[in-house]
Amino acid sequence: NAGVMQNPRHLVRRRGQEARLRCSPMKGHSHVYWYRQLPEEGLKFMVYLQKENIIDESGMPKERFSAEFPKEGPSILRIQQVVRGDSAAYFCASSPGVNSNQPQHFGDGTRLSIL
Amino acid sequence: QKEVEQNSGPLSVPEGAIASLNCTYSDRGSQSFFWYRQYSGKSPELIMFIYSNGDKEDGRFTAQLNKASQYVSLLIRDSQPSDSATYLCAVNQENNFNKFYFGSGTKLNVKP
């Protein structure tokens, strides 16, 4: 499967725990984007990364949230000390990045539930 | 003002009819426009993208762009019940090409 791979598909955490969401971009894609989607709402941009660099994190809360895209391995979205309001679907998308007008392709998402 | 606006719907059309989905955007310098389809509980799936004023056709789908009016639409001909989904409009802006702004989506119901 050469598509965007996200895992886990479903993640359940208790308040105060940490959540780690992983995303492997499509083969040949070097740009990764994370979005959050609440039920019946649109996609909200969180962060845009290239390998080893955060390009734009303007949509990500300053506290508790962090993202990385290391030289080797998947991109990680990390949420520390989760709260009920963090419950949402988190989608990762990737693009080749060289041509800035190219579409983004989405993974299947991680559904995060906070107990 | 939201960067990208869509009517949330639901838009109901009978099977075989043309469904017309609309989207307006605020940044006059926007360069690229994308339509995604999202079934309930699933991820967004790219349907079409358009960069130039005018129409772009792909099978039953036609994207229409009018930059002067800051308006982009998606027409679905011969609508099928399987087209029932939420359609998301996405725009990227002149100075930040790789950052997409999404509308909240229009829910389409195609009735058999």
Say whether A48 and B99 touch across the interface (CB within 8 A). Answer: yes
Q: Which of B31, B100, B103 sits opposite A104 (nearest CB)?
A: B100
Give CA–CA dist A67/A65, Å, rounded.
Answer: 7
Q: Is the dihedral of CA A91, A31, A52, A27 positive or negative?
A: positive
pLDDT in tens, A13-55: 999 999 999 999 999 888 999 999 998 788 999 999 998 899 8
Contact A45, B98 (CB under 8 A): no
**pLDDT over 90, % of chain A:** 77
pLDDT score of B89 = 95
Say whether A106 and B99 touch across the interface (CB within 8 A). Answer: no
Residues of B in contact with A55 (CB under 8 A): 98
pLDDT in tens, B16-50: 999 999 999 998 888 889 999 999 989 999 999 99
pLDDT in tens, B51-82: 999 999 999 999 999 999 999 999 999 999 99
Residue B107 token pair: 């829910």
pLDDT in tens, A62-109: 999 999 999 999 999 999 999 999 999 999 999 887 565 778 999 999
CB pairs under 8 A, 24+ apart, for B4-7? B4/B89, B4/B90, B4/B91, B4/B101, B4/B102, B4/B103, B5/B103, B5/B104, B6/B87, B6/B88, B6/B89, B6/B103, B6/B104, B6/B105, B6/B106, B7/B106
Give CA–CA dist B2/B70, Å, rounded.
Answer: 13
Q: Which of B34, B43, B99 sits opposite A103 (nearest CB)?
A: B34
